[in-house]
Amino acid sequence: MDGDSGPVGPEVALLSRSSSDITEQILRCESDMTRAGTFRAYWLGCNDFGYTKKQATRNSSLSVGLQQLGTFLACFAIWPITHRYGRRWALVLCSTIFVIGAIIQTINTHSFSAFLAARFIAGIGLGGSSVVVPMFSSEMAPKQLRGQIGIFTSYWIDYGVGKGISTSESKQWQIPIGIQILPAALLGLGMFTLKESVRWLTLKGRHKEAWESLQWIRADSGPDAQLEMDEIRLGVETELREKEGFQLSELYTKPENLKRTVTAAVVFIAQQSTGATAFATYGPQYFKLLVGSKGNNDLLLTAIFGAIKVAACLTFVIFVAERVNRKIVLTLGALVMAACQISTAAVVRSKPPPGDATVTSSGIATVALIYLFVIAYNFSFGPLPWPYVSEIFPTRIREPGIGIAVSSQWLWNFVYSISTPYMIKNMGWGTFLFWGIADLASAGGTWFWLEETRGRRLEDITHTTDRAKSFGEDMRYEGDEDRDIGKKPGVEIR
Segment 189-230, tens digit of pLDDT: 988 988 898 888 998 889 999 999 998 888 888 888 889 899
H or E, element range at 490: strand 490-491
H or E, element range at 474: strand 474-475
Which are the contacts of 444, defined by CB distance < 8 A and separation ≥ 6?
Answer: none
Residue 484: count other Cβ atoms within 10 Å of its Cβ.
Answer: 9
In the three-class reduction of DSSP (H, G, I as helix; E, B as strand; rest coil), residue 475 is classed as strand
Show the DSSP H helices in 293-360 as ranges. Answer: 297-315, 326-350
Alpha-carbon torsion, ordered 296, 297, 302, 305, to 10 deg: 140
Percent with pLDDT over 70 in the chain: 72
Q: For residue 4, which of 400, 421, 319 has the smallest C-alpha distance?
A: 421
Q: CA 379, 148, 236: angle at the middle one, nearest 5?
A: 130
pLDDT in tens, 19-69: 334 334 433 444 444 444 444 433 333 466 666 666 677 777 788 778 888
Complete domains list, the chain, with CATH: 10-216+253-461 (1.20.1250.20), 464-494 (no CATH)
User: Measured between alpha carbons, how far is 146 from 237 in angstroms, rounded to an integer?
Assistant: 23
Q: How confident is the model at residue 182 (pLDDT cuts 50, 70, 90)?
A: confident
Distance (Å) of CA 167 to CA 176, 287, 387, 406, 416: 13, 20, 41, 37, 28
pLDDT in tens, 421-443: 889 888 989 999 999 999 999 99
Q: Is the pLDDT assigned to residue 304 strictly greater than 70? A: yes
Q: How confident is the model at residue 142 (pLDDT cuts 50, 70, 90)?
A: low
Q: Is the pLDDT assigned to residue 330 strictly greater than 90? A: yes
User: Measured between alpha carbons, how far is 399 from 382 in angstroms, rounded to an integer?
Assistant: 22
- Cβ atoms of 210 and 86 within 8 Å: the answer is no
Report yes or no on whether pTM surpasses 0.75: no
- Cβ atoms of 142 and 218 within 8 Å: the answer is yes
Q: For residue 298, which of 3, 6, 19, 60 has the smallest C-alpha distance?
A: 6
Of 7-21, 94-108, 171-185, the range with the lowest mean pLDDT is: 7-21
Total length of the chain: 494
